[in-house]
Structure 1
Amino acid sequence: MASTCAKATLALLLALVAAVIPEPGDAQVSIHPREAVLLRGGSMRVNCSSSCPKDHSLGLETQWPKDELESGPNWKLFELSDIRETSRPLCYENCGTAQSSASATITVYSFPEHVELHPQLAWQQVGKNFTLSCLVDGGAPRTQLSAVLLRGEEILSRQPVGGDPQDPKEITFTVLASRGDHGANFSCRTELDLRPQGLALFYNVSEDKLLRTYDLPAANPKLHTPDLLEVGTQQKLFCLLEGLFPASEAQIYLELAGRRLTQKSTKGRDFVSTTALLEVTEEFDRTLPLRCVLKLADQILETQKTLTIYNFSAPVLTLSQLEVSEGSQVTVNCEAHGGALVVHLSGAPPGPPTAQVQFTLNASSEDNKRRFFCSAVLEVAGKLLSKNQTAELNVLYGPRLDERDCLGNWTWPEGSQQTLKCQAWGNPTPQLTCRQEADGTLLPIGEVKAVKREMNGTYKCHAFNSNGNVTRDVHVIVLYQPPNYWAIITGALVVVIACLVGIAVYVYNHQRKIRKYKLQKAQEEAMKLKAQAPPP
C-alpha cells in the first residue's frame, strides 16, 4: 500500500488534468480533476472554478471531510481526506438566479484485507472431486477483482469476486484429486487489475495448504496363514495389500486376540506387507481372532479370521522287543492320546478306530527288518489331521544257503572267465567260504577268475554267524580236451623233414653258386691270356 505522502502526490498529479463541464445558463462551473483513482482512506485536492462575472457562491458538496485550502475571485481549492469508497464530489454555484454544477468521479481501490483458502486440506481420495473455498475479505473495486486457485505456481481456475466490498465473499473451486496432487501446495491468490486506470496488477496470496491424496483398492488385505495352529510349532503369519497409494505412508499390522504382534513390515511402490512369527504354546486359548489392519489417510481396511489352536502328539508305537531271536514272541502296541484315535496298525486285524491297538506275532526270519506303521487321526474344527509312527524289528537267525542263492553244480569251460556266485543269508550277516574237499584250496566267491582244470572238484561252502552255521556242497566241472600223442609225433616228423629239406636246398644252391663263380673266373683268365698273346 502507498504511504500518505504518495497518496497526496497521486492526487496532485491527477488534479493537473482538468475538464470543463458546461452548465445551463450564462456561467460555467468546472471541477479539477474530473476523474481520479485513489487508494482507500487517502486524500486528494479538488479545484472548483466558475466563469460567473457576478457575485456568486461557489462550494463543494461531498460526503468526505474537506478543508478549504485556498480561494480566489472565481475559484476555490479543497482537500478531501479519508475517502473510503467510490464517490462523485460536486462543485456548485449560484450565479444570480441561475444554478450550475460540475461533478467528478473518484474511484477508490483497496486490497483485500484477508485472503484465506479453507478448509484445512485433509486426505482426498484419488478420482473424486473435492471443494476448496477462497474467502476474500475486502478489496475494491470488485468488478476488477478476481480469485485464482493455484497448485504451486500452476493456475487451476480463475473466478471474479464480485459483490459488495464491505462483505466477505467466498469463492468455491471444484478439483479432481489425482496421485500427482499428493504433497502439492494449494493457495488462493487475488488479482486486482488496475491497468485500465493506468496503474498495475496487484496480488494478494493466501497461505499454502498441503494436499495429500490416497488411493485404495476395493479388496481388503489378504491374510496368508493356516487356519489350524499346532502347539509347539512356529507359524509364519503374513498379510499383504496391493494397489494402494501412497504405500510409503500406510500402516499395516497384525493383531492376535487384541494384542499387536512383533512383526516386520515391507513397503513397495504400490504394496505393503507385514510378517510375524508366532510361537504356538499351550497358553493360547483354543480359538483366537487374528486381524490384519491397514491404515491410510482416514481410512481403515481390515481382514479377520479365526485361528484354531490344537495339541496333537504322534501316536506311541512300541515293540515288546526291538531285537529278538527267531521264534520269539513280539507284542506290537500303538496308542493315541489327546482324543486322537488309531486308525491303522500294520499287521493288526482290521477293526474300528480306537485309542489303542495291539497284536502279538512269532518272529521269523521273514520278519527281520520288518517296519511296523501306525497312523492316528484327530478331528480339529471339522478337519481330520493325521500323524504316523514307525518302528523296525530286528530278528536274529542262523545262516541260510539255499539253492536259488548258491547253486550246487557249476560247469565251466577251461580258459573261460567265470564267477562263483554263492550268498548266505542270516542275521547277523554270516561269513562264507568255499574250499575244495581234496586239498582245501579256497575258491574266491564273487571274483572273476580264469578257469583252470585244477578247479575241477567238489567244494564245501560253509556259512556261520553267532546263531549257527550251515554247509553246502558245490560241484565245479571244468571241461577240457585230453592230449593227442599221434598228432604230436606226426607234427614233430613234419618239422624234422621240413628242416632237412631246407638244409639240402641251401647246400645245393650254395654249391651251384660256387661252380658258377669258378666258371666265371676261368673265362676271365682266358680272356686276359688271349689279349696278351702276340698277333700272328
Structure 2
Amino acid sequence: MARTRPRPALPLLLALVAAVIPGPGGAQVSIQLSETILPRGASLQVNCSSSCSEGLDLGLETQWSKVELQHGPNWKLFELSDIEEDSNLMCFGNCGTVQSSASATIILYSFPERVELDPLPAWQQVGKTLTLRCLVEGGAPRSQLSVVFFQGGEELHAEKLGVNSTNPNEITTKVLASRDNHGANFSCRTELDLRPQGLQVFLNVSEARQLRTFDLPGTSPKLNSSDLLEVGTRQKVVCYLDGLFPASEAQLHLELGGHTLTSKSTNRGDLVSATALVEVTPELEGTHQLRCVLELADQNREAEKTLNIYSFSAPVLTLSPSEVSEGSQVTVKCEAHGGAQVVRLSDAPPGDPSPQVSFTLNASADDDQRLFRCSAALKVAGQELLKNQTQKLHVLYGPWLDEGACPRNWTWLEGSQQTLKCEARGNPSPKVTCSRKADNARLPTGVVVTVTREMSGTYVCQATSSHGNVTREVSLTIYPPQNNLVIAILVILLLIVLLVGLTIYLYNRQRKIRRYELQRAQEEAMKLKAQAPPP
C-alpha cells in the first residue's frame, strides 16, 4: 500500500477557537491552539490566558498527557502529546471566588492503515459480472474519505466510504467481464480530502490485482482419426476446438488406452489444436478409447472415440516356378494368414472363399508377363478390409517374326532418311540381323540411314536367341526423286483446265436461265391475250 503523508503546511498561527466566559470584574479566560487539525499521535501547544489581574489560578483540563512549558502573570503555555482522537480542551481560571473557562475542539486526521483490493478469482468467465471489493481499515475523518476503483489508469467508480455499504470498511463495484479485461490490472485508492481544513488530498493506493478472463463455446473438441488402425503403421490423430479465448493458454491432452500421447499443440486466433503421431504396435491390438481433454481456466471439455486396432497380413501368392519354358506346367497358389479369407484368385476355377486357393496351367508364349492377383479380406468392426498381392509369370519361348513387327515389303525414296524396323518377339529377347541375299551386305535395323540406290534388294532377316532362331525375307525397293519443275508445270496446266471448264459451265448455265425466263414471259403473254374480251 503506497501512502502519501506530508506534514500539514500551515503556518504556526495561534487560532482562537475559545468560548469566552467573563469573570468577576469583567475578567475573561481564553484558549489558543497552535493547530486545530493535526495527525493522530501528534503533539499540540495550548495557551491558556485570563484578563484577571489578581488572585488568579489558571489551568488546562484534558485527558492527554500535558507539560507546562512556560507561564506568566496571567497565562500558561502547555504541550499535549500522543493525542489519539478528537477531543474538547478546556482552559479554566479562578479569579477570586469566581471561576470562568474557555473550550476548543481539536480534530485529528489519520491515513487508512489498510487499503486492499480483495483477491480476484483465478479466472473470470466472459459475460459474467465480477464484484470488486476494496477493504479500508482506519482513516479519519471518515466523512472526508472516499474510494476510487481503477482498471489500469482508467477510473471505474468513486464512492464515499460507508455511504452505500452495510460494511463501513468495504466499498464494492461491479464489472462485466470481457475479453478486453484479460490481463488488466485492477486497484483501488483512498482519497482523504482535507482541503476544507486548509490541507490537501492524501492518497493511499492498494496493490494491483491482475484479472484473467476466459470464454469457452458450448461444444466439445473435435477428434479427427480413423476408426481403424493397423498394427505396424503410423497414424496421425488431431484434436481441435474453435471459439475459445484465450487460445494461447488452453491445454490439449490426447490419451489412447489411458496413456498420454506425445502431442504438439498450436493455436491461431480462437482455434487451438493438438496433433499426435501414433506408433501402432502389436501390444495395442484390440479396442481402445481415444480421448481428447481440453483445459482452460477451471473448465474442462472432453471428446472420446473408439478405435479398433487390428493386425492384417497380406496374402502370400506363389508361382511355382515363376519362370518356365513354353509348354511347362505352373502351379499358382494363394494363402491367407491371421484369420483372413481369400476372396479371389484371378483365373482360378469358381469356388467358395477359403484360406487357400490354387490351380495349375500349361505355360504358353501368350502367358509371358501374365499378371496374377490374389485378394484377402478381414472383417474389423463390421467393415471388410482387403489386401492384394500380385505376381508376374515369365515364360521362355523362341523367336517369332510376323508381318506387324517386320513387314516383308519396303519402298523408300532415294535420298530420304529411313529406319528399317524389323522386331522379333521372344523371351529372352532375340537379336535381329538383316543381310542381302546377293552379297550378304548388312542393313542395320532400328537405325536412321540415308537411302541410296545401292540399298535395294532382297534381305534375309534372322532373329536369334538361346531358344532358337527364325528367318524372314524382306524386299527393299528404292525409287528416284521426281523432277519438281515438270510436276509444277503439270499442276499449273491442270488448274488452267479446271478454271476454263468452270467458266464455260457458268456461261452455259446463265444462257439457259435467260432462255427459260424468255419462254415463260411469252407463255404469260399468250394467256393474257386469250383471256381478253373480243372487240
Q: How would you bin the TM-score normalised by the shorter chain?
A: 0.7 to 0.9
Residue 314 (structure 1) shift: 1.2
| Alpha-carbon distance in 2 for matches of 1:203, 1:427 | 105
Residue 425 (structure 1) shift: 1.3
Corresponding residue for residue 211 of structure 2: 211
What SS class does the counterpart of residue 196 from structure 2 fall into?
helix
What SS class does the counterpart of residue 283 from structure 1 fall into?
helix
Matches within 5 A, 1:160-239: 160-162=160-162, 169-179=169-179, 181-239=181-239
Between the aligned residues of both structures, percent identity stands at 61
Amino acid at match of 1:362: N
Residue 156 (structure 1) shift: 3.1
Residues 328-373 of structure 1: per-residue CA shift (max 9 Å, x gap) = 2222222222222322322224555433333322221111111112
- Structure 2 vs 1, CA of residues 454 and 177 (structure 1 numbering), >3 Å: closer, same or farther? closer
| Alpha-carbon distance in 2 for matches of 1:211, 1:78 | 55
CA contact (8 A) 1:15 1:32 kept: no
Residue 192 (structure 1) shift: 0.9
Residue 312 (structure 1) shift: 1.1
Corresponding residue for residue 149 of structure 1: 149
Query: Is the aligned partner of 1:32 residue 2:23?
Result: no
CA contact (8 A) 1:121 1:209 kept: no
- Structure 2 vs 1, CA of residues 33 and 339 (structure 1 numbering), >3 Å: closer, same or farther? farther
- Structure 2 vs 1, CA of residues 189 and 410 (structure 1 numbering), >3 Å: closer, same or farther? closer
Rg larger for:
1
What SS class does the counterpart of residue 460 from structure 1 fall into?
strand
| Alpha-carbon distance in 2 for matches of 1:268, 1:478 | 78
Amino acid at match of 1:335: E
Corresponding residue for residue 423 of structure 1: 423
Amino acid at match of 2:136: V
| Alpha-carbon distance in 2 for matches of 1:187, 1:131 | 13
Corresponding residue for residue 325 of structure 2: 325
CA contact (8 A) 2:415 2:450 kept: no
| Alpha-carbon distance in 1 for matches of 2:81, 2:446 | 134
Query: Is the aligned partner of 1:452 residue 2:459?
Result: no
Matches within 5 A, 1:75-90: 83-89=83-89
What SS class does the counterpart of residue 442 from structure 1 fall into?
coil
- Structure 2 vs 1, CA of residues 54 and 348 (structure 1 numbering), >3 Å: closer, same or farther? same
Corresponding residue for residue 510 of structure 1: none
Residue 143 (structure 1) shift: 1.0
CA contact (8 A) 2:231 2:285 kept: no
- Structure 2 vs 1, CA of residues 23 and 235 (structure 1 numbering), >3 Å: closer, same or farther? farther
Moved more, 244-253 or 60-69: 60-69
Residue 397 (structure 1) shift: 1.3
Residues 409-467 of structure 1: per-residue CA shift (max 9 Å, x gap) = 445677776654432211111222333334433344344452536733x4433323222
Amino acid at match of 2:472: R
Residue 170 (structure 1) shift: 1.0
CA contact (8 A) 1:142 1:163 kept: no
Moved more, 415-424 or 197-206: 415-424
Residue 243 (structure 1) shift: 5.4
What SS class does the counterpart of residue 202 from structure 1 fall into?
strand
- Structure 2 vs 1, CA of residues 158 and 411 (structure 1 numbering), >3 Å: closer, same or farther? closer
Residue 130 (structure 1) shift: 1.6
- Structure 2 vs 1, CA of residues 23 and 271 (structure 1 numbering), >3 Å: closer, same or farther? farther
- Structure 2 vs 1, CA of residues 23 and 298 (structure 1 numbering), >3 Å: closer, same or farther? farther
Residue 292 (structure 1) shift: 3.0
Moved more, 53-62 or 393-402: 53-62
Corresponding residue for residue 491 of structure 1: none
Corresponding residue for residue 467 of structure 2: 467
Corresponding residue for residue 255 of structure 1: 255
Query: Is the aligned partner of 1:137 residue 2:140?
Result: no
What SS class does the counterpart of residue 36 from structure 2 fall into?
strand
Residues 298-340 of structure 1: per-residue CA shift (max 9 Å, x gap) = 3333333232211111111111211111222222222222222
- Structure 2 vs 1, CA of residues 349 and 20 (structure 1 numbering), >3 Å: closer, same or farther? same
- Structure 2 vs 1, CA of residues 91 and 2 (structure 1 numbering), >3 Å: closer, same or farther? farther
Amino acid at match of 2:440: G
| Alpha-carbon distance in 2 for matches of 1:40, 1:156 | 31
- Structure 2 vs 1, CA of residues 328 and 80 (structure 1 numbering), >3 Å: closer, same or farther? same
Moved more, 185-194 or 445-454: 445-454
- Structure 2 vs 1, CA of residues 207 and 445 (structure 1 numbering), >3 Å: closer, same or farther? closer
Residue 43 (structure 1) shift: 5.0
| Alpha-carbon distance in 2 for matches of 1:285, 1:81 | 88
Matches within 5 A, 1:481-496: none
Amino acid at match of 1:380: V
- Structure 2 vs 1, CA of residues 444 and 152 (structure 1 numbering), >3 Å: closer, same or farther? closer
Query: Is the aligned partner of 1:397 residue 2:397?
Result: yes
CA contact (8 A) 1:463 1:469 kept: yes
Residues 273-306 of structure 1: per-residue CA shift (max 9 Å, x gap) = 4443332111114122233333333333333323
Moved more, 49-58 or 308-317: 49-58
CA contact (8 A) 2:31 2:103 kept: no
Which consecutive residues of structure 1, in runs of 5 or more, have no partner in the other structure? 482-536
Corresponding residue for residue 487 of structure 1: none
Residue 45 (structure 1) shift: 5.1
CA contact (8 A) 1:286 1:309 kept: yes
- Structure 2 vs 1, CA of residues 428 and 196 (structure 1 numbering), >3 Å: closer, same or farther? same
- Structure 2 vs 1, CA of residues 350 and 267 (structure 1 numbering), >3 Å: closer, same or farther? same
Corresponding residue for residue 509 of structure 1: none
Amino acid at match of 2:31: H
CA contact (8 A) 2:345 2:374 kept: yes
Corresponding residue for residue 515 of structure 2: none
| Alpha-carbon distance in 2 for matches of 1:32, 1:225 | 93
Residue 207 (structure 1) shift: 3.1
- Structure 2 vs 1, CA of residues 141 and 83 (structure 1 numbering), >3 Å: closer, same or farther? same
Amino acid at match of 2:319: L
- Structure 2 vs 1, CA of residues 419 and 52 (structure 1 numbering), >3 Å: closer, same or farther? closer
Residues 500-529 of structure 1: per-residue CA shift (max 9 Å, x gap) = xxxxxxxxxxxxxxxxxxxxxxxxxxxxxx
Residue 136 (structure 1) shift: 0.9
Corresponding residue for residue 357 of structure 1: 357
Residue 33 (structure 1) shift: 4.5
Moved more, 94-103 or 362-371: 94-103
Instruction: Count how many residue pairs are aligned between Structure 1 and Structure 2.
Output: 474
Matches within 5 A, 1:16-27: 16-18=15-17
What SS class does the counterpart of residue 107 from structure 2 fall into?
strand
| Alpha-carbon distance in 1 for matches of 2:293, 2:268 | 17
Matches within 5 A, 1:302-313: 302-313=302-313
Residue 140 (structure 1) shift: 1.3
Moved more, 48-57 or 413-422: 48-57
Residues 373-424 of structure 1: per-residue CA shift (max 9 Å, x gap) = 2222222223332222110001111222223333334456777766544322
CA contact (8 A) 2:247 2:267 kept: yes
| Alpha-carbon distance in 1 for matches of 2:382, 2:169 | 68
- Structure 2 vs 1, CA of residues 212 and 412 (structure 1 numbering), >3 Å: closer, same or farther? closer
| Structure-2-length-normalised TM-score | 0.73
Which consecutive residues of structure 2, in runs of 5 or more, have no partner in the other structure? 482-535
- Structure 2 vs 1, CA of residues 446 and 43 (structure 1 numbering), >3 Å: closer, same or farther? closer
Corresponding residue for residue 500 of structure 2: none
Residue 258 (structure 1) shift: 2.4
